[in-house]
Structure 1
Amino acid sequence: MEKQEEEVQQQQQQQQQQQQPDKNNKETITWDVAEYGGYLFDKKLKAHNPLNHQMPLQYHHSQSTPHIPSSLSTSSTTSIKKPSSSLSDDESGGSSSSTPHSSNTPRKQFSFDDHCALILANQKLPKKLVDYFWDKCSVRICADGGANRLYSLGTKINQSSRWIPDYIKGDLDSLHEGVSDFFSKKGSSIVLDSSQDTSDLQKCFELIIDLEKGSGIKYRKIFILGGLGGSFSHEFANVNTLFDHPGRKIILASKDNLAWLLSSTYNHNIICRSETKCSLIPLSSKASQVTTSGLKWNLVKQSLNFGELISTSNVSLDNKVCVETSNPLIFIVDINP
């Protein structure tokens, strides 16, 4: 009798275990270093292959950039300077419509299911990365002084009208008046948000959320050029933004590095080429268990923590790196070694 009871209990335990979800059975997210412009600066790769192993971001034509919701204009902390309707087509860069636009050519955007956005921060902007992402994002936003950087980049090559952002947003304490007037006449919307409780980058994300509400579009992939480098405090503020929006793919980019957040909610596959230098940084908290494959120095249920071990200057051995983590990690790629 006791043996039968034990067998019944074992069967019940097995059934309960089968009914419980597998905690390790996480959805896998794929990240692509080449897609994010990771090898644009690789001189050796250029010499080896004229195609540069750079997978072009696919895009298609669309009608226009989404209008900014009218609710923003009534905000106590936000005001919008719209382009003048009296401008000629030549002065405004196209038709006299109030919809922001940057050229007479049809707007291009990602052919992925979710649209992509480009934010330009107030740091040095590599021309190669600006060129690479510009026509491939469905909306382009300058974070305050990022407009000065974009204008300077255009005038440096005697093409000041080459890149016209759809929006410029921030407290506008860094935006030069001449730059503001120039872009406004060319069709950019200037959005003032005087709040000192959020950074200019956070203000740009608030704008993206408002654009989503007004259009039904979801910008799950956002590229931030100038998001790394420069002021160390600003760099930390930019990295903190990754944790504010864990449901989106947000890529911080500079001429030296790419960085993004590996959430503990998912497993992660990073598509890359061999000998790509990378690091895994437990910035927000201790990562008690990290397991990787595809690296020269793999981790097996390894704890990563500041003051203890962190994984820096690791190297990929093949074209894919897999990461499982119990806590969020910042994944950093050296793109200009």
Structure 2
Amino acid sequence: MADDDVMVWHPADVLSDRPNLHEKSALIILNQPLELRESFYRRVWDNSTLRVAADGGANRIHELVTSSSQKLELDLVVGDLDSLLPEVRDYWTEEHVKIEHDPDQFSTDFTKAVKHIWTAERKDPINIVALGGLGGRVDQGISVLHHLYMFQKSYDSGKMYLLSSECVTFVLKSGKHKIKAQASFQGVRLNKHVGVIPLKEPSRITTKGLEWDVADWETEFGGQVSTSNHVVEEWVTIETTKDVIFTIDFEISPEDLARPSQDNVKP
């Protein structure tokens, strides 16, 4: 939480084997391939008090649970449901999961899931971990980053993390941030590669704790952009004049790296 106008981040907590280490969180599963084993995603599930599949995200979880021996529970499937497979809908219905049809064509399924969690009626902040990849099609990856940026207008409702199979990404609002960039849990640890990326507009950033620290450094698309920097201290501080994206990769145990995939199997 904020401490003397410094926003403190514990990104590794979303992968902790000790649920809800610092802050409560909800989970959104996007319609993206889940490329790691169930044991990896189990950590994220156990850290979440609410699990919502955004339309076709329910297909992805169904594939994962049917290829493993354990269940990953859902609380809700929400969206226009044009991607939800009939057999998957039957499966979640039998599991007593609520399926909510929202036909609004002017909002994405990601948006609908976020609105369900960050409602006006919710009194206490709750973080959101959005489970979805940045790999594959470039336009889809940019769309996910666009939504991440768009949703994080403030931290009043909570923080949002985008968790892919390789990294965790979040928005640093203008101001000063302190990030625990060296942390590990059972079989998972944050790695050293980071990026600080402006999306909407140019910013000036000052960093401490990176191999190539900068002071009052202007960054913008078409100019200088900080990618492939390295963490050298446990805590990294970043001060930014405008909102930027922060991303850090992680390492996981070999047994979590791959699982049998059904993506290319034809009936």
For 1:163-182, list aligned pairs within 5 A.
163-182=72-91
Q: Which runs of 5+ in 2 are unaligned?
A: 183-189, 253-267
Q: TM-score, normalised by structure 1?
A: 0.66
Q: How far, CA to CA, are the matches of 2:243 and 2:125 in structure 1? A: 22
Q: Structure 1 residues 146-155 or 275-284, which shifts more?
A: 275-284
Amino acid in structure 1 at the alignment position of 2:167: N
Could you tell me how far 1:237 is from its partner in structure 2? 2.2
Q: Where does residue 322 of structure 1 map in the other structure?
A: 237
Q: Is residue 199 from structure 1 mapped to residue 115 from structure 2 by the alignment? A: no
Q: Is residue 230 from structure 1 mapped to residue 141 from structure 2 by the alignment? A: no
Q: Deviations over 1:177-209 (max 9, x none)?
A: 111111111111001111111111001011113
Q: Which residue of the other structure, out of 30, 44, 47, is the alignment partner of 1:121? A: 30
Could you tell me whether the CA contact under 8 Å between 2:133 and 2:165 is conserved in 1?
Answer: no
Amino acid in structure 2 at the alignment position of 1:189: K
Q: How far, CA to CA, are the matches of 1:262 and 1:328 in structure 2? A: 6
Could you tell me whether the CA contact under 8 Å between 2:33 and 2:133 is conserved in 1?
Answer: no
Q: Where does residue 244 of structure 1 map in the other structure?
A: 151
SS of 2:14 mapped into structure 1: coil
Amino acid in structure 2 at the alignment position of 1:244: F
Could you tell me how far 1:26 is from its partner in structure 2? 6.7
Q: How far, CA to CA, are the matches of 1:220 and 1:172 in structure 2? A: 25
Amino acid in structure 2 at the alignment position of 1:284: K
Q: Where does residue 279 of structure 1 map in the other structure?
A: 195
- Taking a change above 3 Å as real, the CA distance of residues 184 and 133 of structure 1, as seen in their structure-2 partners, is same
Could you tell me whether the CA contact under 8 Å between 2:81 and 2:101 is conserved in 1?
Answer: yes
- Taking a change above 3 Å as real, the CA distance of residues 115 and 32 of structure 1, as seen in their structure-2 partners, is closer
Q: Is residue 142 from structure 1 mapped to residue 53 from structure 2 by the alignment? A: yes
Amino acid in structure 1 at the alignment position of 2:237: C
Could you tell me how far 1:150 is from its partner in structure 2? 0.3
Could you tell me whether the CA contact under 8 Å between 2:191 and 2:250 is conserved in 1?
Answer: no
Q: Which has the higher contact order (CA 8 A, sep 6+)?
A: 2
Q: Deviations over 1:86-122 (max 9, x none)?
A: xxxxxxxxxxxxxxxxxxxxxxxx375x631000111
Q: How far, CA to CA, are the matches of 2:21 and 2:228 in structure 1? A: 34
- Taking a change above 3 Å as real, the CA distance of residues 29 and 227 of structure 1, as seen in their structure-2 partners, is farther
- Residue correspondences, number: 237
Q: Which runs of 5+ in 1 are unaligned?
A: 1-24, 38-54, 59-109
Tell me which structure has the larger Cα radius of gyration: 1
Runs of 4+ in structure 1 deviating by more than 4 angstroms, as ranges, are none
Q: Where does residue 217 of structure 2 map in the other structure?
A: 302
Identical-pair percentage:
30
Could you tell me whether the CA contact under 8 Å between 1:208 and 1:219 is conserved in 2?
Answer: no
Could you tell me whether the CA contact under 8 Å between 1:115 and 1:217 is conserved in 2?
Answer: no
Q: Give the alignment's Cα RMSD to 1 decimal.
A: 2.1
Q: Where does residue 34 of structure 1 map in the other structure?
A: 12
Higher-helix-fraction structure: 1
- Taking a change above 3 Å as real, the CA distance of residues 220 and 122 of structure 1, as seen in their structure-2 partners, is same
Q: Where does residue 187 of structure 2 map in the other structure?
A: none
Could you tell me how far 1:336 is from its partner in structure 2? 4.2
Q: Which residue of the other structure, out of 41, 63, 68, is the alignment partner of 1:152? A: 63
Q: Where does residue 165 of structure 2 map in the other structure?
A: 255
